[in-house]
Structure 1
C-alpha cells in the first residue's frame, strides 16, 4: 500500500513539475521573442535563418525538412528572405535542378543583433537575481539541454 501511495505521489509531483516547467519556459520564451531588433523579419524567417547558420548552406527541401514545414511553405519563406537580401542562391554542385541557399552578410548581422538584444535583456534580468538563484539556473540550463536532447 505504501509503495502505491509513493508511486501516485511521485507521478503527481512529476506532472506538476512538468506543468510548471512548461509554463515557465513558454513565458520566458515569449519574453525573449519580444526583444526584437527588426520586426519586419518574422519569427519564421528568423528560424530559417538560424537553421542555415547552424547547419550551413542547403537546398530549400533540406531547409523545409529541418524546419518541419512543407516545401511550398519554405519556398515562400525563402522568396521573402531573398527579397530582403538575407538569403543567396547558388547552383547546386551536382544537381542542376536545385539551388543551394546560403546566408548573406546582412543575415549574419541581423542574427547577431537579434542575439545581442535577447542576451542583453536576459543578462539584465539575471543580474537582478541572487548569486544562489543564478547558480540554480546554471544547473537548470544544463538539465534543460539534456531534456531537449541537445
Structure 2
C-alpha cells in the first residue's frame, strides 16, 4: 500500500483538488470490492442500484437518473434483462413506454454487492481513530449535499 501523503488545502481550489482525488480513489477502491462472479461494469450496476432505490422506472427515467442517452440505457437494460436481473414491460396506458423493474436475482445481486462493499469500508473505518470516524460522520452529509443534483 502506498504511503499516505498528508497535505493541508490552504485554498478552496486546493481543497477541491484534494477532495476530487480522494473521492475518485475511494470510488475506484470501492468499485474493486465486487461480489465474486459479478462481471457487470460499474455503470450497469448503477442502473440496478437506481431501480433498487426508486422502484420501477421507464427507460427514459433511468437514462435521466444516470445521465446517459436513452439508446445507451436501452443497451444496458437489454444486457441486464439477458442476465435475468431486470424485467421489462409495456406501460399500461402508453404503449411507447417500456417500464423496467428489478427481478429477485437483480435485487439479490445489488444487496450482495452493497454488503461486500460496506463490509470492506467498515473494516477500513475500524482502523481509524474515534476522532477520524467522528470527522467522517460529520462530513458524510456534506459530501452527499455536494453530490446532490442541482
TM range (shorter): 0.7 to 0.9
* 1:43 corresponding residue in structure 2: 42
Return the structure number with greater helix share.
Answer: 1
Instruction: Report what 2:32 is aligned to.
Output: 34
Summarize the alignment of residues 33-112 of structure 1 with structure 2, pairs less than 5 Å apart: 33-37=31-35, 38-112=37-111
SS of 1:41 mapped into structure 2:
coil
SS in structure 2 at match of 1:100? strand
Question: For residues 147 and 130 of structure 2, what CA distance do their matches in structure 1 show?
Answer: 26
Which one has the largest radius of gyration? 1
**Equivalent residue of 1:137, what SS?**
helix
The gaps in structure 2 that reach 5 residues or longer are: 1-9
Equivalent in the alignment of 1:128: 127
Task: Give the length in aligned residue pairs.
Answer: 140
Give the TM-score normalised by structure 1. Answer: 0.87
Shift of 1:48: 0.8
Deviation digits for residues 106-134 of structure 1, max 9, x if unmatched?
Answer: 01100000100000000000000111111
Aligned to 1:69, the other structure's residue is in SS state coil
The TM-score with structure 2 as length reference comes to: 0.87
